[in-house]
Amino acid sequence: MTRLLIVDDSPLMRRLLSGIFTAEADFEVEVARDGVEALAKLHSFHPDVITLDVHMPALDGIACLNRIMIERPCPVVMVSGRTAEGAAETMTALELGAVDFMPKPDGAVSLEIDALRPLLIDKVRTAAQARVKASSRLAERVRARSRGVGRTTRRRAESVAGAKLAPVAASDAPGLVLVGTSTGGPRALEVLLTGLPASFPWPILVAQHMPAFFTSALATRLDKLCALHIAELSAPTVVEAGTVYIARGEADMVLRRRGGTLVASAAPADPNYPWHPSADRLVRSALGVVPPEQLVGVLMTGMGNDGAAAMAEIKAGGGRTIAESEKSAVVWGMPGELVKLGGASTVAPVDQIAGLLVEALA
């Protein structure tokens, strides 16, 4: 039985969310009206997973989350508004340790929440399986304090002990790094991308499962932290070294060759792919225009198997792939599937992946 604590100041939202999960046989549900009550139930109810509203009286969701991650870390799914402010708050929550988030219905709540029922249940079940460690949370807090907003010098990518990636042969045609991730991905992306220097020689394309509007906030936040330029892909763009392109939420990123240049575009979500932005579709489009030996695929934390089969094709064709290790992944679904398929050239904790890329492309 999964113990779920629903924290929301709206009686209607508490009633609707509670109804959804009590109807499932594997949930034991309690509710809290604000952050103060949530912290009390954190220690009395001992939830396995929490849904946490952002805007509440007495103690808001961000402050409550911060206390949860210090006092008794457990998986948290934030409930945030579909606004610029809500997206920025969501990025803050993910940095503080939230596993995932779900946009709050912005229309007729009782009607929209029913349509969101399968997604809500899937997100909470996935989050309940996530690993949240107090030690890693505290390490991230120390790193965040020492980093400072807008800092332009980044930590040097360190050499990697254990995991290795075969060097990529020099070529006149630059290659691509393709990254796929889902639940837990924003924090994993921060660790990966802040470890890369401004001189990194290949463009990086990222498919992070996320709703529309939130990928722009993710790109903006990462751009402030990284030596590389980070941008959400919103129009057909010639890909260039020194830039990381984040696929737009609820769309897919595809690559085409126009003359001698590679162009990345946002394409409507393809129903043949269940997750969006789709890592499988991104990788397969890249395989159509770039030799596999000029590709490096990186598959990080996330539920499901998106990207695994396509990245296995990179390795089979002579390219290189990295799967995040179970040790560091919040959810070892996607990278675990790549390993099961025999498609991982190497397996490494997330904090070693940047060093592997730098060494392979040196």
CATH topology of domain 2-137: Rossmann fold (3.40.50)
Residues 150-158 have a mean pLDDT of 35
- Active-site residue list: 182, 209, 306
Query: What are the domain boundaries of the chain?
Result: 2-137, 176-360
Q: Which amino acid is at 295?
A: L
CA dihedral 281, 324, 196, 220 (to 10 degrees): 60
pLDDT confidence band for 260 (50 / 70 / 90): confident
Residue 90, φ and ψ in degrees, nearest 5:
-65, -45
CA atoms within 13 A on the CB side of 177: 28
Reported as type and span, the H/E element at residue 125 is: helix 117-128
pLDDT exceeds cutoff 80 at 90: yes
CA atoms within 13 A on the CB side of 349: 8
pLDDT confidence band for 355 (50 / 70 / 90): very high
Tens digits of residue pLDDT in 265-286: 999 999 999 999 999 999 999 9
Residues 135-162 have a mean pLDDT of 42
pLDDT exceeds cutoff 50 at 151: no
| Distance from C-alpha of 68 to C-alpha of 76, rounded to nearest angstrom | 9
Tens digits of residue pLDDT in 205-239: 999 999 888 999 999 999 999 999 999 999 999 99
What's the pTM? 0.89
pLDDT at residue 18, as a whole number: 96
2-137 and 176-360 share one fold: yes
CA torsion through residues 124, 128, 131, 137, sign: positive
CATH number belonging to domain 176-360: 3.40.50.180
pLDDT at residue 80, as a whole number: 83
